[in-house]
Amino acid sequence: MKSFFENDAVELTPDGKELIILDQTLLPNQEKYITITTAEQLFYAITLLKVRGSHAIGISAALGLAMCMNRFETSDLRVFESEFLRVKRYLAISRPSAVDLFTDLNRMESCFYEQMSCAEDGAGAIALIKERLTAEARNIKLEKIRTCLAIAEYGFSLLKPGVTIMTYCNAGHLAVSRYGTALSPIFLAQENGYMPKVYACETRPLLQGARLTAYELGKAGVDVTLICDNMASIVMSRKKVDIIFVGADTVAANGDVINKVGTSGLAILAQHYGVPFYVLCPSQTIDKDRPTGYDVKIEERPGYEVTEMYYEKPSAPIGTKVYNPAFDVTPNALITGIITENGISK
């Protein structure tokens, strides 16, 4: 499947010393790639949503950790180890709900100690560890891209020509680095001449559906219609939706899904109107250490995102209290199926 973008959303330069990301906070009005050279820059890029989506965050953290170590100079292996652990632990707290962040950083740590166990002290050993860390981070990204292609095929198998799909938030190219999860079957359907139609929910308060999903689908030539989140019910009630595709930040062991706040409400509407509701994500997103979705900490974000961001003037009286959870839990009972690179399951 071809990409409709000139560059991936997250790239490590050939020398491994700079991380290049597409600043998603500026979309759709400006496509600007920013250069990251420190752990602190990457931390704030993640917390400020310049890079977002559990999978893209995991890729960024892995590549960023390798980048930081490539830039760190010492001939003392223990000093190098101490810096590796400092950066890894620092990046791990940047977005606590993104399971890929922890999985990919832990994989980088395993790689580090595998190499360190057979290394001799000195600059030569450190150079070899740097090389291996960089290769491992690049492999993490490539594996996620291949995973997205497999997810695309399974999702595409559910579609027919002329299908109408509803989606929420953004789980495409930008949320992974290439192709995406929930949007990848749509891209594949477009390539195969199915001429899919898509209703993209705007996704308040940060408007990922409006700013990012409509942007991506438009670049791919897909017929996309933007709706406010509170319009999903009337669209479904008028029999205009055949299937719903959403992504996931985390899937609990029992199949509950943690995703952008509003996902659970969409699932409730889908069940009421009899619309199949599918979650698309890599199997790595399934966290077997979390028994249910309610065992995952839900991040709460600043109130200004609701009252001021994207407004010229505040949309509510100054001092109004705001509750702004970033995610919610969709019980597995509301989900028709979970699509991973391994197939479709309940």
Query: 200 by DSSP, 3-state: which?
Result: strand
Gap between the Cα atoms of 321 and 26, Å rounded: 27
The Cα–Cα gap between 284 and 334 comes to: 21
Q: Are strands 19-22 and 223-227 parallel, antiparallel or unpaired?
A: unpaired
Torsion, CA 260, CA 265, CA 270, CA 271, rounded to 10: 120
Structure tokens at 154: 């399974």
Angle between helices 54-71 and 123-156 (to 10 degrees): 160
Count of CA atoms in the C-beta half-sphere (13 A) of 247: 33
Q: CA-CA distances (angstroms) from residue 311 to 50, 200, 250, 300?
A: 19, 21, 31, 21
Numbers of helices and strands, H then E, in the chain: 12, 14
In terms of Cβ atoms closer than 10 Å to its own Cβ (0-12, 13-18, 19+), residue 124 is: exposed
Q: Are 241 and 165 in contact (CB under 8 A)?
A: yes
Q: Residue 149 CB: number of other CB atoms within 10 A? A: 14
d(CA 112, CA 117): 9
Active site residues: 249
- 117: how many CB neighbours lie within 10 A of its CB? 7
Name, in order, each residue with C-beta under 8 angstroms of 41's C-beta and a sequence gap of 6 or more. none
Helix (H, G, I), strand (E, B) or coil at 121: coil
As a 3-state breakdown, the chain gives helix, strand, coil percent values, each rounded to 5, of 45, 15, 40
